[in-house]
């Protein structure tokens, strides 16, 4: 059966390993992937633990559709208490690891304790072995995978690993798989590094028996046609996610020179078409028909001839807009470096841009920077800072602690120039003209975030009736909708709806780019209900899936509240309210977020959730969702 994969409890301190089946009751409550990980996190992590201590727990999982015929069913989720924020740690990546984990017999790994020396896990067809990793400690992400495959004699082994940044406990280190697939936010690489866990290698040859294979095949053909016929998918298949840059930068919706401008001018080399010219092909994840990332060889400079994949839209911002750089080669080199070190490209680029503004304002001096000229546009300095952060050298050691700890160390009002929520830096987008997107980053469960609740289709100026059709399914909604992304009205529901949508997607283990997140005509709750039924046999209506996602998101909220989250954490830094945008198209110039209107949106957002005015889930909400007695320790 598609549901007969197990959960494994791995105690690194003692070497004990226990496996259990996952009850259907738990599936019906949390499905899998991120949803079930949130349940496990609330049940297995004790309140108040040190995120880098041995009592923290790491969770690695596949979604319930992973490795089936469902389109793009490749996503891996990694969770734990975040070393960066102290709240929910949660990261998601594509590639081929999750299907392989399921073919090896497992859906969830619960990793506890700390190994005395570096180790990696070797998982093969219901068997798990803890192996010595001293010989790969210190190796890059790419080197580690090659060494393990050679050691185990199988080129088809799929591996997730940390790089030197995770080993050095950089608080925003990634977990990586393949060339560039990154579980990239909240510091899950540091969590694995704190456990001396270098990698997890998986090889599986066990069939996943589909419940209704013929119907699953035929229905997935229909879904694939739905996805590939969408213009947004076709564009993405040619140019990758960098195609988004052209629209957002042209309008003035990106932050430049940290947060001083909102449009990068004279930057033709940053455009997706420029990246396309150096690409040698496109790559995709398991079960994907879109193939959204470029394969490239760095054309010039010290890294000329080096192969890598990407860059994504976020790297255009991290290595061009935010630090004020304009060369394609800089984006390609920086993208390569964060990939091999295992660093969050968003956090790394944002922090470097932040200290560049501090340097410009005289808060940091040449003595503080170790002689680096950290002026905006200095590409050599940006590259050097990546090395220093990963290796924890000089100023890089301070930045490796993340925004709030770094600001406390630097002092001198440096914190006022940070662009963060809950201690996580924002990506390069500028939400001052877009209240819905601003609400999304302010309230997102893991910190400033574009992959938790972002109503991206808000930017498309879709007709009101199209928006109403989307946002009224599978739960009715008769409140206001607007086609203008500058409006405040109705945005609280849009953020709540997208938040629940994203949670559902992460429980299923499918790619957000294959869902209504990116395009109005792409699959949503109705299609997911049928994919579940044909592939797994679970009979869950669209409303059932919505409720599962809502339940899982409330578990995240409960975890955060237990770890000290208050309403004050669901907020933006002062720059959003006090500094108007200065460039871009006329409709976005002179924009700030209105404090009172944001407060009202948050009140409305809490009400949609069934939370009180402080953002705490009401008892009747928990009872409706069946989680009033958590932690229940069913698993």
CATH of domain 244-424: 1.10.569.10
Radius of gyration (Cα) for the chain, nearest Å?
23
Q: Are 170 and 159 in contact (CB under 8 A)?
A: no
Bridge partner residues of 617 (DSSP): 611
pLDDT at residue 2, rounded to an integer: 83
CA dihedral 411, 415, 417, 422 (to 10 degrees): 150
DSSP state of 618: P
Return the SS3 of 19: strand
Which residues of the chain are in CATH 3.60.9.10 domains? Answer: 6-203
pLDDT at residue 481, rounded to an integer: 94
The set of residues, in sequence order, having a beta carbon less than 8 Å from that of 582 and lying 6+ positions away, is 261, 262, 589, 590
Q: Are 492 and 601 in contact (CB under 8 A)?
A: yes
Helix 141-152 crosses helix 328-341 at what angle (to 10 degrees)? 50
Q: What percent of the residues of the chain are helix, what percent strand, and what percent coil, each to the nearest 5?
A: 45, 15, 45
Bridge partner residues of 123 (DSSP): 128, 202
d(CA 533, CA 347) in angstroms, rounded, equals 39
Exposure string over 396-426, b if 16+ CB within 10 A, otherwise e: bbbbbbbbbebbeebeeebbebbbbbbbbbb
Dihedral sign for Cα atoms in the order 537, 538, 543, 546: negative
pLDDT at residue 548, rounded to an integer: 98
d(CA 240, CA 236) in angstroms, rounded, equals 4
Dihedral sign for Cα atoms in the order 439, 445, 451, 457: negative
d(CA 249, CA 232) in angstroms, rounded, equals 18
The set of residues, in sequence order, having a beta carbon less than 8 Å from that of 629 and lying 6+ positions away, is none
**Alpha helices, DSSP H, located in 12-160:** 24-30, 33-44, 97-103, 141-152
pLDDT digits (tens, 9 = 90+) for 239-248: 999 999 999 9
Which residues of the chain are in CATH 1.10.569.10 domains? Answer: 244-424
Residue 300 neighbours by CB distance under 10 Å: 12
CA distances from 61 to 5, 75, 337, 507, 584 (A): 11, 9, 27, 10, 42
pLDDT digits (tens, 9 = 90+) for 402-432: 999 999 999 999 999 999 999 999 999 999 9
Please state the separation of Cα 577 from the chain's center in Å. 26
Classify residue 632 by burial, with Cβ atoms within 10 Å: 0-12, 13-18, 19+.
middle
pLDDT at residue 53, rounded to an integer: 98
Which residues of the chain are in CATH 1.10.599.10 domains? Answer: 435-625
Cis peptide bond prior to 474, omega within 30° of 0? yes
d(CA 126, CA 15) in angstroms, rounded, equals 16
Q: What are φ and ψ of residue 10, in 5° steps?
A: -120, 115
Residue 16 neighbours by CB distance under 10 Å: 12
pLDDT at residue 241, rounded to an integer: 94
pLDDT digits (tens, 9 = 90+) for 27-74: 999 999 999 999 999 999 999 999 999 999 999 999 999 999 999 999
Q: Are 208 and 68 in contact (CB under 8 A)?
A: yes
Task: Give the residues of the chain that fall short of pLDDT 70.
Answer: 1
d(CA 283, CA 432) in angstroms, rounded, equals 34
**What pTM value is reported for the model?**
0.97
- ∠ CA(379), CA(381), CA(382), 5° rounding? 65
Bridge partner residues of 121 (DSSP): 130, 200
pLDDT at residue 518, rounded to an integer: 86
The length of the chain is: 635
Which H helix or E strand runs over 199? strand 197-203
Which H helix or E strand runs over 332? helix 328-341
CATH of domain 435-625: 1.10.599.10
**Alpha helices, DSSP H, located in 463-541:** 464-471, 491-508, 525-536
**Alpha helices, DSSP H, located in 129-262:** 141-152, 164-167, 188-194, 213-228, 231-239, 243-251
The set of residues, in sequence order, having a beta carbon less than 8 Å from that of 277 and lying 6+ positions away, is none
pLDDT at residue 612, rounded to an integer: 98
Q: Are 509 and 65 in contact (CB under 8 A)?
A: yes
The Cβ-side half-sphere exposure at 442, using a 13 Å CA radius, reads: 33
Fold of 6-203: Aldehyde Ferredoxin Oxidoreductase;  A, domain 1 (3.60.9)
pLDDT at residue 261, rounded to an integer: 98
């Amino acid at each position: 059966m598609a549901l007969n994969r197990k959960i494994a409890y791995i105690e690194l301190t003692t070497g004990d390993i226990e496996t259990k089946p996952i009850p259907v009751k738990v599936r019906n409550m949390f499905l899998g992937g991120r949803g079930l990980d949130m349940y496990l996190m609330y049940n297995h992590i004790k309140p108040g633990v040190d995120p880098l201590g041995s009592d923290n727990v790491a969770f690695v999982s596949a979604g319930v559709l992973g490795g089936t015929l469902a389109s793009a069913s490749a996503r891996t989720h990694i969770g734990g208490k975040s070393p960066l924020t102290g709240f929910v740690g949660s990261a998601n990546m594509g590639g081929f690891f999750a299907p392989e984990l399921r073919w090896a017999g497992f859906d969830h790994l619960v990793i506890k304790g700390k190994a005395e020396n570096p180790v990696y896990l070797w998982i093969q067809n219901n068997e798990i072995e803890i192996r010595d990793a001293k010989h790969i400690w210190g190796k890059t992400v790419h080197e580690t995978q090659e060494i393990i495959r050679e050691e185990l004699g199988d080129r088809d082994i799929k591996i997730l690993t940390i790089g030197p940044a995770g080993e050095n406990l950089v608080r925003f280190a990634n977990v990586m798989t393949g060339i560039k697939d990154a579980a990239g936010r909240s510091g899950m690489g540091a969590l694995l590094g704190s456990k001396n866990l270098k990698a997890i290698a998986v090889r599986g040859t066990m069939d996943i028996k589909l419940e209704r294979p013929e119907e699953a095949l035929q229905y997935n053909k229909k879904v694939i046609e739905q996805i590939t016929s969408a213009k947004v998918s076709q564009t993405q298949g040619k140019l990758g996610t960098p195609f988004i840059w052209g629209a957002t930068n042209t309008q003035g919706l990106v932050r430049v020179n940290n947060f001083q401008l909102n449009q990068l001018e004279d930057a033709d080399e940053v455009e997706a078409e420029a990246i396309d010219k150096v690409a040698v092909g496109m790559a995709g994840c398991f079960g994907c028909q879109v193939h959204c990332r470029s394969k490239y060889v760095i054309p010039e400079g010290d890294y000329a001839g080096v192969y890598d994949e990407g860059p994504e839209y976020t790297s255009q911002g991290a290595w061009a807009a935010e630090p004020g750089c304009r060369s394609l080669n800089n984006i390609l080199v920086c993208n390569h470096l964060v990939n091999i070190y295992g660093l969050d490209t968003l956090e790394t680029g944002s922090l470097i841009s932040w200290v560049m503004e501090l340097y410009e304002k005289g808060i940091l001096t040449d003595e503080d920077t170790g002689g680096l000229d950290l002026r905006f546009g200095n590409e050599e300095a940006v590259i050097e800072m990546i090395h220093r952060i990963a290796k924890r050298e000089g100023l890089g050691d301070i930045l490796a602690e993340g925004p709030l700890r770094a600001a406390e160390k630097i002092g001198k009002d440096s914190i006022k120039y940070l662009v963060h929520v809950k201690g996580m830096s924002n990506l390069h987008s500028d939400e001052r003209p877009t209240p819905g997107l601003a609400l999304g980053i302010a309230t997102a469960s893991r910190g400033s975030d574009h992959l938790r609740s972002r109503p991206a289709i808000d930017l498309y100026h879709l007709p009101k009736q199209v928006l109403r059709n989307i946002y009224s399914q599978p739960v009715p909604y008769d409140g206001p909708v607007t086609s203008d992304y500058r409006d405040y009205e109705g945005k609280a529901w849009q953020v709540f709806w997208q938040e629940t949508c994203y949670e559902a997607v992460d429980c299923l283990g499918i790619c957000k780019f294959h869902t209504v997140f990116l395009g109005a005509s792409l699959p949503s709750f109705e299609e997911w209900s049928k994919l579940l039924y044909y592939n797994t046999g679970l009979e869950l209506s669209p409303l059932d899936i919505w409720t599962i996602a809502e339940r899982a998101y409330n578990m995240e909220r409960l975890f955060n509240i237990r770890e000290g989250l208050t309403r004050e954490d669901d907020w933006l830094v002062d720059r959003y309210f006090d500094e108007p945008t200065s460039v871009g198209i006329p409709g976005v110039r002179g924009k700030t977020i209105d404090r009172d209107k944001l407060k009202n949106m948050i009140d409305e957002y809490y009400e949609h959730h069934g939370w009180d005015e402080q953002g705490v889930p009401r008892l009747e909400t928990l009872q409706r969702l069946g989680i009033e007695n958590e932690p229940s320790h069913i698993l």
